Amino acid sequence: MSVSPVPARRLAAASLAAAAVIAAVAVPASAAGQPRADRPKVEISDVQYDAPGHDTRANRSLNKEWVELTNTTRREVNLDGWTLSDEDGDTYTFDRYRLAARATVRVHTGEGRDTRTDLYQDRVRHVWDNDSDTVTLRNERDRVVDEVSWDRDRQDGDRHHGGRHDGGRHHDGGRHHDGDRHHDGDRHHGGDRH
């Protein structure tokens, strides 16, 4: 018994159409599960919450207290409107600042001249509590990007990336700096909680 060529062609056409539908459905589904390539990935890479030596209100002491942010991506990230805050709500706002790809910037508590590697909150009091506190980094939409907490009583810290928790503490690593500028309307205040 022989098979006529018309049904074979129809079967082949139906198979190709089904494959096209499956491919059209499968591509978006797999793409949806992938992280977006354009999503900024900036993290709090280090925190010096206890300035070395006696905690005084001298600018030198204030600037030994800092938070470092690192851009872990291959693209520059615009931090305009992003904020750093503590548990008491003391907030530093980045203004017209771009963090270069694979770069780190250190945000000091005291006064100073902003450079590509160092920014200054221009405060006259210490911000970060030596015993326990939390540094929260939020983007321009007020969404938590990263968070680092410490508690001397527990002798450990916690890290949260955009709401995810993955235990850790501030660390010192190889540093590479870059960036631009900032300004903050919340300058010249903060709690001396040391």
Pairwise pLDDT comparison (82 vs 13), residue with the higher score: 82
Q: What is the mean pLDDT of residues 47-55?
A: 92
Which residues have a Cβ under 8 Å from the Cβ of 125 and sit 6 or more positions away?
A: 57, 62, 189, 190, 191, 192
The pTM of the full predicted model, rounded to 2 decimals, is 0.64
Distance of alpha carbon 164 from alpha carbon 98, whole angstroms: 25
Looking from the CA of 172 toward its CB, the CA atoms found within 13 Å total: 3
Q: Check residue 132 and give its pLDDT.
A: 97
Q: What is the mean pLDDT of residues 154-166?
A: 52
Residue 19's H or E segment, with its range, is helix 5-33
Could you give the 3-state DSSP secondary structure of residue 24? helix
